[in-house]
Structure 1
């Protein structure tokens, strides 16, 4: 109880005192100019940023554009710190002066790494450009101009050009303004890493939720359903906090972009309460049961009140409720563990991780901690660790139940024979569902998620087998490597999303021409594909590849701006020889592909074993 009181008092004190970023004093001169062509200056962007907090009585609060700002506006230097503010009614102005000392024209993205802002307006005034971008959660998602969960502002500077960038930011919640200036290549690389991380996290969370739901269906045990409910609601909440929900679920729903956050917090609190009560086997009539019942009704009540209360009040109340639920479940878990309920130990460990992660994430979301992106990753790690510990706790609970079952069987076999039979059937069903889930996971691990083709792992598994079969039977085996020509230009020109669409179209073409039951089409990396053609001769493989190249050359793909784009492919072919190793075969096909590329692309090259020697 003392730990719970300390946590609650600390959070309440922070909420009452408020916080603002530890920023520098009033500058004696304008903010220093940032040379966008210098990577080390881009890395220290916040050393070149100025800001002004316009309270409601400040004339700058009423200004709608930079020209309306007072000439004597008191700008402050960020001093290298992220701009982080707690709940206020102020309007925030941010200013950045850019130049390009390079002799080449440069292109960058100014990225604002916080998705939950109501109104964000960018002004660009420079030597050769002047534009305004009005966006935020109170505007349709397409207002951002770039389909990305964070805010991106394209910045183009010619040699010697200068540009003034001004931001006006207003939000009904806490406010984070983590800015960075990045090249398109760095942005794409970071996006790829984030996609992989989030894909693994949300994929694992979905698998665990579905698995628990299947356990509930097979066993009828309530805490499996409550655990699936909790993981699903927590996953959707993090999806919304990360900006994905606004991007994919309700891009045109302006009001729900804000309402969804406190709504999902209350939903998470309700699911946590239900799961904790069922898993910990809290006895009715005890103080713990009364507390959890009250918290459950409070969660349901605030869930309904979210549609009536203002956002700034509902987000605060629902967050405090969620922290109260987590702290209460932590204390009740300790109590059940001290009472001798063994699975409660792992439950307490899981909730300890959750408590720390939620506190840090809440402080970042409310504007009391900087680097929201790092806190988001910390929260993902905390949730992932908690899910693993919770599922391990359920395994321990199952183990405990199994021990009790054996003890009952030993002491009263004749009287409880029917119940033992029922329990054994439940366990058998559970193991069957687990085996199905494992088979499903094994299948998923062999397929490329984007194109549906087999992946590199499948290629590594099946190629040695096909080579051994060809060596044993004397039947031909042909390997063709196919690569998209100038694919980097596609990503650089129309973005990674359109590049993914092109890869799917290439996969469609491969599906159309790789028809035989034993033929295999594989995407083994980026825009690189492989065709394994057992029983196909050199000429037959050339014919298949020629059909693929012709089909692709006549397939048009439409971009978001209505432009029709066509791709070409290059292919390299190698035929397996009896004394070949699979790596030799692959290297020969790769050399042939390189030869096709070097000869002008959109063509096929073949390297035979005797030529390679």
Structure 2
């Protein structure tokens, strides 16, 4: 039996019924009261929690409030263990007794740090406000007393006051009930910390997805598109599992918030397969190609079933599907490694790390291990590492193709050299064509393909030369940064193709007004342009920019609907100060441009002179 098959069978056993982790304790009838003013006691909250499991038919199953519970109900103390339960139809009642012996009123939050619970109801005995809070991801997000991805219950206790908090929890999936009692300062500090780490994680995924999409658009290499698709679907899955999607994307659509998790999981499996087919190059009609093609259609079928089957079934189905897809891709990658396909080594490394993270994360999500927050962070690390390794594998694939191209070029040169004497004329023609192609390549490397203006690389080289010359001769050197106002609105309204027409129009106007041989017009960003004006001071540069802004202001383009559209420019100008670096000159011009935009746009702003430090 292969190691991959053993992994699949071992994971399948995870879906068998299992006992909740804390149920190894003996049933009790009383739990100690938590002194909320004691910070150490609050950190040991689970030593003060009791719970009761109510399967269908149990008297407490139909109870809708603590008052309806049987008086002889048996409570089980958690005894410091996290409450983790596998998938079940039971209702879980949780109770916590609090008292405040401090000399002042205190305020805390009871936090339930697991967002994927269908129905969660809180009761506070003796509370005038928020005595009952009914929420969960089967409810709209505004049912929560605090706008947060986790469940937060405000708890206020006056001096000497006692209170009992009762929770009723029911969910179609596994139950994780990580409870904590934190002060407002602690809640804010922890939220800020999580915001930073999650922001870095999802921001990195977004950047990598966009980067791969841009690579696809520029190279038309299909596996870049599939990689962007995979990163996006994996990010959406993690976003939904973390409760962010419910909070930010569809707070008023609880059904969508619940179903998007198995849907995104099935999409992840589909994206994995599409990427693997295009990246591994197993060859058509091979067993590996047929395996991946079959799994693609199976993933499409699972995605369709996810739309109609209940959540409790589809989440388990799609999790097994994901594990099976990862395992089969690893097996195919091993074969490709043995066949000498070098990029498969890094591809395999990426999926090994991912498989370990997925297994542990799934065990936590299905209620078989505790510390869901820790496994969530570990899963983010696994996903981040895998995405980086996959991109590195694509770099290695590009390097391999480049080496093959270089080898072909070398062989061609060797063949040409061997025939140099008998085909002198033909060789000369070939060298002329090669020289012409190299010149064209040099021109392309220094010019922007859309507008024909110089590009950022050419500008950097030329600016260094002009800077050294200006410092040596004392002649003025001025740079003007020009930016199209509200260009994003044009792209959003009429599309990027129409926006490109505007960029080309602006470029033509720049060429008309920048005529001196040593002057240079540059496009160094999307809608950002620059003018390098040697032997020109600020006043001369301002006159040039005024003419450019005036002509652009009067120019119009016909929109796809038959109307007309116009655009304006903003400009920032800075002249080189004695001893100033090119970076500082550029920063002053950029600051002047920013001030021009902040002052209302369609204007020119001269940079302030730098303050020179005294020797």
TM-score by shorter chain over 0.5: yes
Instruction: State the partner residue of 1:488.
Output: none
Aligned to 2:476: none
The aligned residue for residue 221 of structure 1 is 221
Using the TM superposition, give the Cα deviation of residue 114 of structure 1 relative to its aligned residue in structure 2, in angstroms.
0.4
Distance 1:259 1:40, change over 3 A: same
**Relative to 1, partners in 2 of residues 1:516 and 1:412: Cα closer, same or farther, differing over 3 Å?**
closer
Matched residue, 2:108: 108
Give the deviation of 1:344 after TM superposition: 0.5
Once residues 61 and 103 of structure 2 are traced to their aligned partners in structure 1, the CA distance between those partners, rounded to angstroms, is: 40
- 1:75-99 C-alpha deviation (Å, 9 max, x unpaired): 1011111111111100011100011
Q: Whose Rg is larger? A: 2
Distance in 1, Cα, partners of 2:303 & 2:407: 44
User: Per the alignment, do residues 329 and 273 of structure 1 end up closer, same or farther by CA in structure 2, a change over 3 Å counting?
Assistant: same
> Aligned equivalents of 1:337 and 1:162: distance in 2?
66
Change (3 A) 1:34 1:326: same
Tell me the distance in 1 between the aligned counterparts of 2:34 and 2:130.
Answer: 18
Give the alignment of 1:310-459 within 5 angstroms. 310-412=310-412
State the 1:17 CA deviation. 4.2
Change in CA separation of 1:52 and 1:343 when aligned onto 2, cut-off 3 Å: same
Whole-Å separation in 2 of the counterparts to 1:406 and 1:471: 45
Residue 467 of structure 2: aligned partner: none
Q: How far, CA to CA, are the matches of 1:577 and 1:345 in structure 2?
A: 56
Cα gap change, 1:38 to 1:297, in 2 (>3 Å): same
Residues 29/313 of structure 1: CA separation in 2 closer, same or farther (3 Å cut): closer
The Cα of 1:69 is off from its aligned counterpart by: 0.6
Instruction: Indicate whether 1:87 and 2:79 are aligned.
Output: no
Structure 1 residues 63, 103: CA separation in 2 closer, same or farther (over 3 Å shift)? same
Deviations 1:361-415 (A, max 9, x none): 1111111111111110000000000011111111111110111111122224689
**Structure 2 CA distance for partners of 1:44 and 1:404, relative to 1, 3 Å:** same
Judge conservation of contact 2:174–2:367 (CA < 8 Å) in 1. yes
The 5-angstrom pairing of residues 5-16 of structure 1 reads 5-16=5-16
> TM-score w.r.t. structure 2 length?
0.69
Pairs aligned (count): 458
- 1:96-127 Cα offsets, whole Å, 9 max, x none, are 00111110111111100000111000001137
| C-alpha separation in 1, matches of 2:178 and 2:24 | 16
Q: For residue 139 of structure 2, what is the aligned residue in structure 1?
A: 139
Are 1:160 and 2:160 counterparts? yes
2:234 is matched with: 234
Q: 1:432 to 1:350 in 2, by over 3 A?
A: farther
The equivalent of 2:460 in structure 1 is none
CA distance in structure 1 between the partners assigned to 2:130 and 2:215 by the alignment: 59
Aligned to 1:66: 66
User: Residues 577 and 331 from structure 1, CA distance in 2 versus in 1: closer, same or farther, beyond 3 angstroms?
Assistant: closer
Name the CA shift for 1:387/1:577 in 2 (closer, same or farther; >3 Å): closer
* CA distance in structure 1 between the partners assigned to 2:409 and 2:158 by the alignment: 82
Q: 1:338 to 1:191 in 2, by over 3 A?
A: same
Q: 8 Å contact 2:17–2:87 — kept in the other structure?
A: no
CA contact (8 A) 2:216 2:222 kept: yes
> How far off its partner does 1:19 sit?
3.7
The residue number in structure 1 matching 2:518 is: none
| Per-residue Cα deviation, 1:472-505 (whole angstroms, up to 9, x for no partner) | 9xxxxxxxxxxxxxxxxxxxxxxxxxxxxxxxxx
Unpaired runs of 5+ residues, structure 2, are 417-429, 450-454, 457-573, 581-594
How do 1:541-552 and structure 2 match up within 5 A?
Answer: none
SS at match of 1:146: coil
Q: Give the CA deviation at 1:26.
A: 3.2
Distance 2:86 2:134 in 1: 23
Structure 1 residues 412, 25: CA separation in 2 closer, same or farther (over 3 Å shift)? same
Is contact 2:333–2:348 with CA below 8 Å preserved after alignment?
A: yes
Deviation per residue, 1:551-585 (Å, 9 max, x gap): xxxxxxxxxxxxxxxxxxxxxxxxx89659xxxxx
* SS of 1:375 mapped into structure 2: helix
Check conservation: 1:84, 1:177, Cα contact below 8 A. yes
The answer to whether the 8 A contact 2:28-2:75 is kept is: no
Give 1:282 deviation, angstroms: 1.4
Q: Distance in 2 between matches of 1:156 and 1:393?
A: 55
